[in-house]
Amino acid sequence: MTDFLSQLDPVSLLSITLITATPLVLAAMGGMMCERSGVVNIALEGIMLTGAFIGYGVAFFTHSVWIGLAAAIVSGMLIATLHAVLSISFLVDQIVSGMVINILAVGITGVFYRTYLESATTVGPGTFPHWDVPVLSAIPVIGPIFFQNQFVTYAMLILIFVVHFILFRTVWGLRTRACGEHPRAAETAGINVYFVRYVNVIASGALAGLGGAYFSLQQIGNFLPNMTGGRGYIALAAMIFGKWTPLGAFAASLLFSGSDQVGSRLQSVFHVPIPLQFLGMIPYVLTIIVVAGAMGRAVAPAAVGIPYKKG
């Protein structure tokens, strides 16, 4: 039993799970702010990729991961603004606009990476430092999991509560949800639907841009073409599974990334004689089971995806 426990090593398992859930949670919360105001944002993948690229590029040339971080967030907001202009002002189908941004992001970041960064074999800008929170990091179990992390993971943990508070405890949150449920009624009540939607879409860009910094500036200290590898889409699944709430999205993200880690451990540590192709399937099978109904009904905001026309 003690042998099993030391092999399972639950503290490190949970710690890695929390770290790898970081970009999922951030992107899911971005998608949530967007959709709560009535705009679908499948561009999260492209926004994260752009954030990862711009963050790395700026950090590379300024030799500061912090300037890189700011650039990642700003670039996320800019791309999100593009999505907002297309889908809110120009009434373009929101899925089409999001898809355009995703395709664009893969192409643009890949080309600029190959042109300017790939051949640079000098040492990269490094990664965010590990910060141990004084006192708290010394607590057994809790400390190593929650209080010995890097910037983006801490930011994610704090933002869960911030986003929850904004959406459900402030006037702004109420207006946001009104625009997502019944924009016409919101307009009648004197809410500027366009403004609310714009702000929420741009805020989602900031969250996803921060999520992008996780890939290049927190984990690897480098950029690789298409390095987000579809996590923006998994984040959307986490958002739906979490029923458009920050805490729900957090739990869903932990489930997705945790099942991934368990699958790996079955192969490497426990030597389970199952072909690793099957172990690799675990997160996806779990996603299907969960989304197919094990979780009960998920009800999207009523007006999500419908372009709003004034008057």
Partner 1 sequence: MVRGSRLTGVIAAATLVAAAVLAVGCGSTPTTGSSCSKTWKVGLVTDVGKLSDKSFNFDSYKGVQDAQADSSLCVQGRAIESSVESDYPKNIGQFVDQKYDMIVTVGFKLGDATIKAAKANPNIKFVMVDYGDFTDNPTPSNLVGLLFKEDQPGFLAGALAGLLTKSNVIGAVAGLQTVPPVVHYVQGYENGAKYTNPKVKVLKIYQPESGAKDFNDPDWGKQQATTFFGQGADIIFGVGGNTGNGGLLAAKEKGKMCIGVDVDQYVSYPDVDSCLITSAEKHLDKAVKTAITTMVQGSFKSGLLTFEMANDGVGLAPYHDFDSKISADVKAKIADVQAKLKAGSITTGVTS
Site of interaction with partner 1 (CB under 8 A): 6-7, 9, 11-13, 16, 19-20, 86, 89-92, 96-97, 100-101, 103-104, 106-108, 110-111, 113-114, 118, 121-124, 126-127, 130, 215, 219-222, 224-227, 229, 261, 263-265, 267-269, 276-277, 279-281, 309-310
CB of 304 to partner 1, least distance (A): 19
CB of 211 to partner 1, least distance (A): 13
Let me know: does 266 contact 281? Beta carbons within 8 Å. Answer: no
Gap between the Cα atoms of 253 and 17, Å rounded: 9
Closest CA to 253 of 240, 267, 266: 240
Paired with 149 in beta bridges are 131
Distances from the Cα of 54 to the Cα of 25, 113, 216, 233, 277, angstroms: 21, 10, 9, 20, 34
> What is the b/e burial string over 223-238, where b = at least 16 CB atoms within 10 angstroms of the residue's CB?
bbeebbeebbebbbbb
Q: In the complex with partner 1, which residue's Cβ is closer, 119 or 188?
A: 119
**Cβ within 8 Å of residue 50, ≥6 positions away:** 75, 76, 79, 105, 108, 109, 209, 212
Q: What are the helix and strand counts (H, E) for the chain?
A: 13, 2
Q: In the complex with partner 1, which residue's Cβ is closer, 96 or 247?
A: 96
CB of 194 to partner 1, least distance (A): 9
Q: In the complex with partner 1, which residue's Cβ is closer, 247 or 275?
A: 275
Q: In the complex with partner 1, which residue's Cβ is closer, 139 or 269?
A: 269
CB of 264 to partner 1, least distance (A): 6
Q: In the complex with partner 1, which residue's Cβ is closer, 87 or 245?
A: 87
Gap between the Cα atoms of 73 and 84, Å rounded: 16
CB of 117 to partner 1, least distance (A): 9
Let me know: does 102 contact 45? Beta carbons within 8 Å. Answer: yes
Q: In the complex with partner 1, which residue's Cβ is closer, 13 or 291?
A: 13
Gap between the Cα atoms of 103 and 31, Å rounded: 18
CB of 296 to partner 1, least distance (A): 30
Gap between the Cα atoms of 85 and 91, Å rounded: 8
CB of 297 to partner 1, least distance (A): 31
Q: In the complex with partner 1, which residue's Cβ is closer, 214 or 250?
A: 214
